[in-house]
Amino acid sequence: MHPAGPAAEAIATLWWVMLAGATAIFLLVVVLLTLAMRPRPGGGSERVWLQGMGLAFPLTVLAALLAYGLVIGERLLPRDHPDRVTVRAEARQWEWRFGYEDRPDLETRDILHIPAGRPIDVEITSLDVIHGFWVPRLAGKMDAIPGHVNILRIEARRPGDYAGVSAEFSGPGYRTHRFTVRALDAADWDTFLEEGAP
């Protein structure tokens, strides 16, 4: 509900649009039920109500929501970007290890450092079972699957710490399987790459 990056903002907007569409359909159904319960002298035009409002309106709203959802989904796909940074996220019971393309010898545990204001492609995998990588304020959820690499684009608009969770049942203890994404300004990012984690 408090997005801090473009992907999370797109997902939040999609949620609000889908809520508005669902509300419109719900209100229409309530109106149709109310009209259906009213006695009508001399019969009525049930067929017009059923076809025109009972079918056409919901189908139009649902088609519009589907089209909007597909457009948003396409926008969330990772694309080439000149400022893109690639990091690696490797899950295991019960920790996350993060590696950095710009500094291959550097690895952090349970804290992913990223530069603020730049798109980050997170290459997500697992060593044991399926885990879920989710930083709600930055992007949607992506599964970490053994032997497979999934790529999720995240971006933090401002420096700060963002809570991440392993949002996939992966055995007893998964509820405490958490990590932090620490977004750094440009100077702190350069210092991190030079000196490593504090």
Distance CA 19, CA 1 (A): 14
Extents of the domains making up the chain: 6-75, 85-195
Residues of the chain below pLDDT 70: 1, 36-37, 39-54, 197-198
d(CA 8, CA 76): 9
Residue 191 CA, chain-centre distance (Å), reads: 30
Q: What is the pLDDT of residue 53?
A: 66
SS (H, E, C) 70-119: HHHHHHCCCCCCCCCEEEEEEEECCEEEEEECCEEEEEEECEEEEECCCC
Supply the CATH classification number for the domain 85-195.
2.60.40.420
Tokens for 23? Answer: 């509300």
Cα(164)–Cα(112) distance, rounded to whole angstroms? 10
pLDDT at position 44 is 55
Q: What is the pLDDT of residue 1?
A: 63
pTM recorded for the entire structure: 0.75
- Neighbour tally for 165: CB within 10 Å: 17
